[in-house]
Amino acid sequence: MEKKITIEPVTRVEGHGKVTIYIDDEGNISQSRLHIVEFRGFERFVQGRPYWEAPVLVQRLCGICPVSHHLAAAKALDVIVGAGTGDGLTPTGEKMRRLMHYGQMFQSHALHFFHLVSPDLLFGVDGDPIVRNIIGVAKKYPELAVQGVMMRKFGQEIIRATAGKKIHGTGAIPGGINKHLTQEEKESFLKGADPLNADKMISWSVDALQFLKDYHKDNKDFIDNFAAFPSSHLSLVRKDGALDLYHGVLRAVDADGKKILNDVDYQDYLNYINEEVRDWSYMKFPFLTEYGKKDGWYRVGPLARLNTCEFIPTPLAQKEFEIYKAYTNGKPNHSSMHMHWARLIELLHSAEVIKDLLNDPDLMSGELTVKGEKRNEGVGLIEAPRGTLFHHYRINEHDQISMANLIVSTTNNNQPMNEAVNHAAKQFMTGQKVITEGMMNAVEVAIRAYDPCLSCATHALGQMPLEIVLKDSSDKELDRKRR
Amino acid sequence: MNDQVKFTIDGKQCTAEKNTNLVEAAKMNGIYIPTLCHLEGVKPAGSCRICNVKINGRFMTACTTLVVDGMVIESNTNEIQELRKIIIETLFVSGNHFCPACEKSGNCELQAMGYKYQMMVPRFPYEFEEKEVDAKTTKLYIDRNRCILCKRCVRSIKSKDGKSIFAIKGRGHKAVINIDHKLANQMTDEEAMHAMETCPVGSILRKERGYVDPIGSRKFDHKPIGSEIEETVTVK
């Protein structure tokens, strides 16, 4: 008789989800599902609101990377106010937004690595959950914990200086930005007391990368093979093929690295991307229309970005990118756990970009906004920390939003996360009669690699109310364990 | 000198010109009496009731009362401040005020009053009444969810030939603010901006202006409402 295991809630991810794993009579995994049980409804309730409200309203989707939503919405509205499709802003407008975005990328990646992932690496996947958390890290590795906290603080301060607030600011407005960077802010980020300055952030990013590379050396099999599976990858890239997290054209490559979406204008994304609804999750399943529901799914996020781009336009990150690419002989990387490696290369890249931008005089003076001929529709895409984020709005003749379509990064990674859960379950649970803490966490580790943001900013620390329910195929409960 | 009258507010000896309303008279003596509907130079309406004070032992609205010789006024007492807080709370629960996404946030007098009176949570249930927005004019967006019916716009925003651009439609709890589309479409950019600034909340918005005031430079980002009159004003 088939058995069903439920892991609920999935912990140390942003938001709430649950996992169901079905085991047949022989102890083989027959099916695994990651259910997203939240429903937010932003696409509906922004309708009727004035369009300029969208960047401030919609960012409330999240408390971890609201800047992504803030900027993606602002980019869509740039199109509506006639400020071009991503390249029409004033130098000040574009660079201030870039600084805001890279500040966010830096803080979000630091948060994910130090707060959410490092406990698994430092204490092991099957480590005691009482200590396998950020509090445990702070007690045993205080220097590392402090680094994580201070790196996040630096990124948050960049956001405050550009958006007005660390969380849910108002900086990006249709057609540009509402403020300059002050001399005082610039000085504090470039020459701030140790450790809160750009040079230290670059140096700590290099250290974090080294920490992961050392861990990789000692745990090759786990890092290379855990929840590894081939897939296509999608992201924005700069027109010349460089990694660009703020703006670019849409590119997808297949598992062998062949371009299957060739640098298209994202204003036309509906011609290339579709979404499937499945009755067991509130989260849709996007796919490349040309390749269909079964084969058209793709991954987004750091792993995908380093698979689609050709180079990184900052020196230290480029050097690390070359080492990273050489590991897979230049072919696309399909290891879920290499997502952490890719994320830390982006962390370093973000720190370098922040330093370069801070030295740019355009941040301190110049026109803030630009407007042109108004349109009634606009699409804004951005590479959020977790992957490609789509915002699409239409407005009526009275300036009210009449349609909104959001495809958030985690939605793009829906099928990949389900694949990762299935691979982890097969690796750790096949033929097992007793479900251990390590097995449960292995499933979470696979999901956590994608840094999913399940639509809210729930952080759970310490002891988790993790529960496993064993059920037969008729949903009758056979056993229940709770920690 | 005959035009001057003497009175006390909370025991403080004050003087003001005859025929000055009490809100203005208090202001001249460095005392802040909170208001939401009062607008300097415009005939008072007494509609928000926040300026309630006790004059010679009786409750009266300060904006509609002219100061006279010998008046004994109580303003900053526990009883009166609590009454004002109740009024602020009723304004919040009877509208749909979502400050986090409102572009008037930081410049909103009702929000500033909520902070001043430390309204953590209203004691009354939210009404969550469905209210219509009117986006049909070219320069203004009217959001009735946020309107507190102070009538500032009705009393002060007029067309060039003196016609009212705003009016109250309906009575009692069905009363809503209405805008004359034809007259509103004739407003200049400056007049439309003035209408937005006249509104104490985010009910009248200048279209396409959005969030141009960065956080940190908004009216109440650093100083509480009333501090321009009374630096050390504290709510008991």
Cα(A170)–Cα(A57) distance, integer angstroms = 10
In a mutational test of the B interface, the residue from A49, A92, A398 whose CB has the highest number of chain B CBs within 10 Å is: A398
Q: Residue B135: is its pLDDT beyond 70?
A: yes
Separation of CA A324 from chain center: 19
Closest in A81, A178, A398 to B211, CB measured: A178
Within 13 Å of residue B155, how many CA atoms lie on the same side as its CB? 17
Instruction: Please give the pLDDT value at position A417.
Output: 87
Q: Residue B211: is its pLDDT beyond 70?
A: yes
Q: Residue B110: is its pLDDT beyond 60?
A: yes
> B83: pLDDT confidence band, cut at 50, 70 and 90?
very high
Q: Using the structure block, give the residue that is written with the tokens 């389900």.
A: A418
Q: Which residues of B touch A398 (CB under 8 A)?
A: 135-136
Residue B97: which of B113, B83, B117 has the closest Cα?
B113
Stretch B36-43: mean pLDDT, rounded? 93
| Other CB atoms within 10 A of residue B183 CB | 18
Q: Per the CB < 8 Å rule, is B101 touching A52?
A: no
Instruction: Please give the pLDDT value at position A442.
Output: 81
Instruction: Give me A205's structure tokens.
Output: 């990013």
Pairing of strands B140-143, B166-169: unpaired
Instruction: Please give the pLDDT value at position A476.
Output: 61
Instruction: Please give the pLDDT value at position A9.
Output: 61
Stretch B58-86: mean pLDDT, rounded? 97
Instruction: Give me A432's structure tokens.
Output: 């097992």
Q: Which residues of A touch B144 (CB under 8 A)?
A: none
Which residues on neighbouring strands pair with residue A341, listed in sequence order?
Answer: none
Instruction: Give me A45's structure tokens.
Output: 């309730």
Closest in A169, A173, A399 to B135, CB measured: A399
Q: Per the CB < 8 Å rule, is B212 touching A52?
A: no
Reported as a single tens digit per residue, the pLDDT across A132-163 is 888 888 898 899 899 999 999 999 999 999 99
User: Hey, what amino acid is at B220?
Assistant: F
Q: Which residues of B touch A71 (CB under 8 A)?
A: none
Q: How far is B139 from chain A (nearest CA, A)?
A: 10
Q: How far is A26 from chain B (nearest CA, A)?
A: 54
Query: Is B4-76 in CATH node 3.30.70.2860?
Result: no
Instruction: Please give the pLDDT value at position A465.
Output: 40
Classify residue A182 by its DSSP letter: P
Separation of CA A83 from chain center: 27
Q: How far is B124 from chain A (nearest CA, A)?
A: 25
Q: Per the CB < 8 Å rule, is B210 touching A52?
A: yes
Pairing of strands A14-15, A453-454: parallel
Interface of B with A in 160-199 (CB under 8 A): none
Architecture of domain B86-206: 2-Layer Sandwich (3.30)
Query: Is A45-412 in CATH node 1.10.10.10?
Result: no
Stretch B178-205: mean pLDDT, rounded? 97
Q: Which residue of A has its CA nearest to B102?
A: A53
Q: Which residues of A touch B (CB under 8 A)?
A: 48, 50, 52-53, 56-57, 60, 81, 163-165, 168-171, 173-174, 178-179, 398-400
Which residues on neighbouring strands pair with residue B168, listed in sequence order?
Answer: B177
Interface of B with A in 96-135 (CB under 8 A): 100-101, 103, 133, 135
The region of weakest confidence among A255-264, A418-427, B86-95, B124-133 is A418-427
The shares of helix, strand and coil residues in chain B, as percent rounded to the nearest 5, are: 25, 20, 55
All residue ranges of chain A with pLDDT < 70 are 1, 9-17, 36-40, 433, 453-483
Residue B147: which of B163, B137, B158, B134 has the closest Cα?
B134
> Which residue intervals of chain A bear CATH 1.10.645.10?
45-412
Q: How many CB pairs under 8 A join A and B?
A: 50
> Which residue intervals of chain B bear CATH 3.10.20.740?
4-76
Instruction: Provide the whole-model pTM.
Output: 0.91
- Dihedral of alpha carbons A43, A386, A152, A461, sign: positive
Instruction: Please give the pLDDT value at position A248.
Output: 97
Closest in A48, A52, A169 to B133, CB measured: A48
Q: Which residues of A touch B103 (CB under 8 A)?
A: 52-53, 56
Stretch B204-219: mean pLDDT, rounded? 96
- ipTM of predicted assembly, 2 dp: 0.90
Q: Per the CB < 8 Å rule, is A53 touching B215?
A: no
Is A382 within 8 Å of A172 (Cβ atoms)? no
Q: How far is A81 from chain B (nearest CA, A)?
A: 9
Q: Per the CB < 8 Å rule, is B141 touching A168?
A: no
DSSP states of B79-140: HHHHHHHHHHHHHHHHTT--GGG-TTTTT-HHHHHHHHTT-SS-SS--------EE--SSSE
Reported as a single tens digit per residue, the pLDDT across B220-234 is 999 999 999 987 555
Is A464 within 8 Å of A11 (Cβ atoms)? yes
Q: Per the CB < 8 Å rule, is B141 touching A399?
A: yes
Q: Per the CB < 8 Å rule, is A52 touching B211?
A: yes
Q: Per the CB < 8 Å rule, is B211 touching A399?
A: no
